[in-house]
């Protein structure tokens, strides 16, 4: 298992390129199951989660090859539409094969993803939608077994109890091949949902309204393969924006769509950071002190839960006290004890963390617990006095392409230590 060692104190300067979005690539790769033939996906980030998904597609009789930032999928008929536990347990997003498989084959068996470090994360909304579309659902032995007695899903009006990103994506894929017009109400508005809709439409689907909370899908009988370049990763971009601000740096984050990051940009500005669009990127400059600001996570276009841990580190250095409230996942403060070991002053009461700014953090050995928590510890290490070693970085490798190379390119003293326990 690799560790990452950082020696704090360097100001970040220069240009950092942003990779393709993990959370867009995953549903899009799953959507390839909707059509036979040769699909080509470009600008795919080299991440463990993408490799796991290619493994799952290959298990489902597809030929998925991941090379040089491209995934080529030769779509073929699936003989047994089953996503086994061994693959789903590696990555929750595997559940995104459910919608496409049921839409295409009228049946699927998918291991229940179960909880994970950040929360219970049920999939009841995905299943409720499929049921309304005429599927019968059975939960047994840790698997969900879905069967459509009529063979083809029927359109329905589905009202989500809460907006769910992968739930919206699964049902959008399911509805693309269903009979009639499906309406998804209280749908997730995340840019990755919009990106999936763009891809489905390129494949011949009729999806309208993605990016708003009502999505209408007119089902078609069949879809064709697609060639698509994945949009940039707004969370990776946001992470470098915070890292630049943290070190009082001057960084051009290249290839980011600022309109996807409005909530973060507004909070950075309120904290005293300059955020300016520059060409196809965004320049982050901080010269003055950081001010404390309060943040509450919310579904898009609110402040993203996937940026909460990183923003909290920034607030550790701000003047005053900041309140950070997590409303999406019930257990997403696992970075707090590790940050406190580095000298931060954070108190958690229920869903709110109160962060009192400190003058300095101290380098320490810390443990990464999930993807975004890992990123926050790396950012803390960039400004901490002395050396920080972040352990269990496999979490990081699931979501950040070449993070140590990119940070080193901005002047950070950072290295990967291979194979340490």
Which of residues 125, 247, 265, 369 is near ligand EPU by CB under 6 A? Answer: 125
Residue 123 sits in the site that holds ligand EPU (CB under 6 A): yes
Q: How many residues would you count in the chain? A: 421
Nearer to ligand EPU, 28 or 293 (CB): 28
Nearer to ligand EPU, 332 or 406 (CB): 332
Residue 372 sits in the site that holds ligand EPU (CB under 6 A): yes
- Nearest-approach distance from CB 376 to ligand EPU, in angstroms: 12
Contact mark string toward ligand EPU, 55..94, x via CB under 6 A: --------------------------------------x-
- Nearest-approach distance from CB 368 to ligand EPU, in angstroms: 12
Nearer to ligand EPU, 290 or 401 (CB): 401
Contact mark string toward ligand EPU, 183..202, x via CB under 6 A: -----x--------------
Number of residues that bind ligand EPU (CB under 6 A): 23
- Nearest-approach distance from CB 229 to ligand EPU, in angstroms: 19
Using CA atoms, how far apart are residues 106 and 108, in angstroms rounded to an integer?
A: 7
Count Cα neighbours of 332 within 13 Å in the Cβ-side half-sphere: 26
Q: Please say if 116 is a catalytic residue.
A: yes
Contact status, residue 214 vs residue 184, Cβ threshold 8 Å? yes
Contact mark string toward ligand EPU, 380..399, x via CB under 6 A: -------------------x
Q: In the numeric block, which tokens belong to residue 291? A: 């001010």
Residue 26 sits in the site that holds ligand EPU (CB under 6 A): yes
Using CA atoms, how far apart are residues 108 and 119, in angstroms rounded to an integer?
A: 25
Contact status, residue 143 vs residue 109, Cβ threshold 8 Å? yes
Using CA atoms, how far apart are residues 18 and 255, in angstroms rounded to an integer?
A: 6
**Crossing angle of the two packed helices 98-105 and 124-132, in degrees rounded to 10:** 20
User: Which residues does residue 116 pair with via DSSP β-bridges, in sequence order?
Assistant: 119
Q: Phi, psi (5° rounding) for residue 162?
A: -140, 150
Nearer to ligand EPU, 252 or 353 (CB): 353
Burial class (CB in 10 A: 0-12, 13-18, 19+), 37: middle
Query: Which among 118, 126, 134, 124 is positioned nearest to 305, based on CA atoms?
Result: 118
Using CA atoms, how far apart are residues 318 and 62, in angstroms rounded to an integer?
A: 50
For ligand EPU, the binding residues in 162-181 under the rule CB under 6 A are 162, 164-167
- Nearest-approach distance from CB 30 to ligand EPU, in angstroms: 10
Contact status, residue 134 vs residue 93, Cβ threshold 8 Å? no
Burial class (CB in 10 A: 0-12, 13-18, 19+), 260: buried
For ligand EPU, the binding residues in 320-359 under the rule CB under 6 A are 328-329
Name the one range near ligand EPU by CB under 6 A: 158-166, 200-208, 247-255, 385-393.
Answer: 158-166
Query: Which among 134, 145, 186, 188 is positioned nearest to 164, based on CA atoms?
Result: 188
- Nearest-approach distance from CB 305 to ligand EPU, in angstroms: 5
Q: Which of 54, 116, 173, 316 is catalytic?
A: 116
Which residues, 6+ apart, have CB-to-CB distance to 412 below 8 Å?
6, 10, 12, 382
**Crossing angle of the two packed helices 371-383 and 308-315, in degrees rounded to 10:** 20
Residue 305 sits in the site that holds ligand EPU (CB under 6 A): yes
Nearer to ligand EPU, 124 or 262 (CB): 124
Which of residues 107, 126, 234, 286 is near ligand EPU by CB under 6 A? Answer: 126
Residues belonging to the active site:
116
Binding region for ligand EPU (CB under 6 A): 23, 26, 93, 119, 121-126, 162, 164-167, 188, 305-306, 328-329, 371-372, 399
């Amino acid at each position: 298992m690799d560790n990452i060692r950082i020696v704090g104190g360097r100001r970040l300067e220069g240009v950092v390129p942003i990779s393709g979005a993990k959370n867009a690539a995953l549903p899009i790769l799953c959507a390839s199951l909707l059509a036979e033939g040769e699909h080509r996906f470009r600008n795919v980030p080299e991440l463990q989660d993408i490799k796991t998904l290619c493994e799952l597609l290959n298990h489902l009789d597809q030929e998925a090859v991941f090379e040089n930032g491209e995934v080529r999928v030769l779509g073929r008929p699936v003989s047994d539409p089953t996503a086994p536990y061994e693959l789903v347990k590696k990555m929750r997003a595997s559940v995104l094969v459910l919608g496409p498989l049921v839409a295409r084959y009228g049946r699927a068996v998918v291991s229940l993803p179960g909880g994970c470090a950040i929360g219970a994360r049920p999939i009841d909304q995905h299943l409720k939608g499929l049921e309304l579309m005429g599927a019968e659902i059975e939960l047994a032995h840790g698997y969900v077994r879905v069967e459509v007695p009529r063979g083809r899903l029927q359109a329905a009006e589905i009202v989500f109890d809460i907006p769910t990103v992968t739930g919206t994506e699964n049902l959008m894929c399911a509805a693309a091949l269903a009979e009639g017009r499906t309406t998804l109400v209280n749908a997730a508005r995340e840019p990755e949902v919009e990106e999936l809709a763009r891809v489905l439409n390129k494949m011949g689907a009729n999806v309208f309204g993605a990016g708003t909370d009502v999505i209408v899908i007119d089902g078609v009988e069949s879809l064709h393969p697609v060639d698509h370049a994945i949009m940039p990763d707004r969370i990776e971009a946001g992470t470098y924006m915070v890292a630049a601000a943290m070190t009082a740096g001057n960084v051009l984050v290249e290839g980011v769509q600022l309109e996807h990051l409005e909530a973060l940009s507004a909070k950075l500005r309120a904290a005293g950071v300059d955020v300016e669009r520059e060409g196809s990127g965004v320049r982050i400059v901080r010269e003055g002190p950081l001010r404390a600001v309060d943040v509450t996570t919310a579904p898009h276009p609110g402040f993203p839960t996937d940026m909460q841990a990183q923003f909290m580190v920034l607030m550790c250095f701000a003047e005053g006290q900041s309140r950070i409230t997590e409303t999406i996942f019930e257990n997403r403060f696992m970075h707090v004890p590790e940050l406190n070991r580095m000298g931060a002053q954070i108190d958690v009461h229920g869903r709110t963390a109160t962060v009192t700014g400190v003058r300095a953090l101290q380098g320490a050995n810390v443990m990464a617990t999930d993807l975004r928590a890992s990123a926050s510890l790396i950012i803390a290490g960039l400004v901490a006095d002395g050396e920080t070693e972040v352990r269990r970085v496999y979490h990081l490798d699931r979501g950040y392409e070449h993070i140590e190379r990119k940070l080193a390119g901005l002047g950070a003293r950072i290295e990967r230590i291979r194979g340490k326990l």
